[in-house]
Amino acid sequence: MLYYLFDFLDEAYNIPGSGVFQYISFRAALAVITSLTISLLFGKSLINLLRRKQVGEPVRDLGLTGQKEKQGTPTMGGLIILTAIIVPTLLFAKLNNIYIILILFTTVWLGFIGFLDDYIKVFRKDKKGLAASFKVFGQIIIGLVVALTLYFNDGVVIREKLHETNTHSTTQLSEFERNPDHTTKFSRVAVKSTKTTIPFVKNNEFDYAIILKPFGEAAKKYAFLIFIPIVIFIITAVSNGANLTDGIDGLATGTSAIIGATLGILAWISGNIVFADYLNIMYLPNTGELAIFVSAFVGACTGFLWYNTYPAQVFMGDTGSLAIGGIIAVLAIMIRKELLLPILCGIFFAENLSVVMQVAYFKHTKRKYGEGRRIFLMSPLHHHYQKLGYSEPKIVQRFFIVGIMLAVLTIITLKIR
Cβ pair 55, 96 in contact under 8 A? no
Sequence spans of domains, the chain: 2-155+197-338, 158-191
CA distances from 223 to 65, 208, 270 (A): 51, 7, 23
Nearest to 282 by CA among 153, 414, 97, 412: 414
Residue 169 has pLDDT above 50, yes or no: no
Decide: helix, strand or coil at residue 408. helix
**∠324-356-198 over CA atoms, to 5°?**
60
Q: Would you place residue 167 in the very low, low, confident or very high pLDDT band (cuts 50, 70, 90)?
A: very low
Residue 308: enclosing H or E segment and its boundaries? Answer: helix 290-308
Q: What is the pLDDT of residues 324-342, one digit of tens each?
A: 999 999 999 999 999 999 9
Q: What is the gyration radius of the CA atoms in the chain, in angstroms?
A: 23
Max mean pLDDT range (56-70, 139-153, 209-223): 139-153
Decide: helix, strand or coil at residue 268. helix
Q: What is the mean pLDDT of residues 133-158?
A: 94
Q: What is the mean pLDDT of residues 149-168?
A: 74
Q: What is the pLDDT of residues 290-332, one digit of tens each?
A: 999 999 999 999 999 999 999 899 999 999 999 999 999 999 9
Q: What is the mean pLDDT of residues 91-95?
A: 94
Q: What is the mean pLDDT of residues 64-76?
A: 74
CA distance 55 to 336: 39
CA distance 353 to 342: 11
Quote the pLDDT of residue 171: 37
Quote the pLDDT of residue 279: 84
Q: What is the pLDDT of residues 178-225, one digit of tens each?
A: 443 444 455 678 888 899 999 888 878 899 999 988 888 788 888 999
Range in 25-39, 58-72, 248-262 with the lowest mean pLDDT: 58-72
Strand duo 205-207 + 185-191: pairing: unpaired
DSSP state letters, 220-260: GGGTHHHHHHHHHHHHHHHHHHHHHHTTSTTHHHHHHHHHH
Q: Would you place residue 62 in the very low, low, confident or very high pLDDT band (cuts 50, 70, 90)?
A: low
Quote the pLDDT of residue 179: 40
CA distance 327 to 140: 14
Residue 229 has pLDDT above 70, yes or no: yes
Q: Would you place residue 129 in the very low, low, confident or very high pLDDT band (cuts 50, 70, 90)?
A: confident
Identify which has the larger pLDDT, 157 or 126. 157
**∠259-274-91 over CA atoms, to 5°?**
55
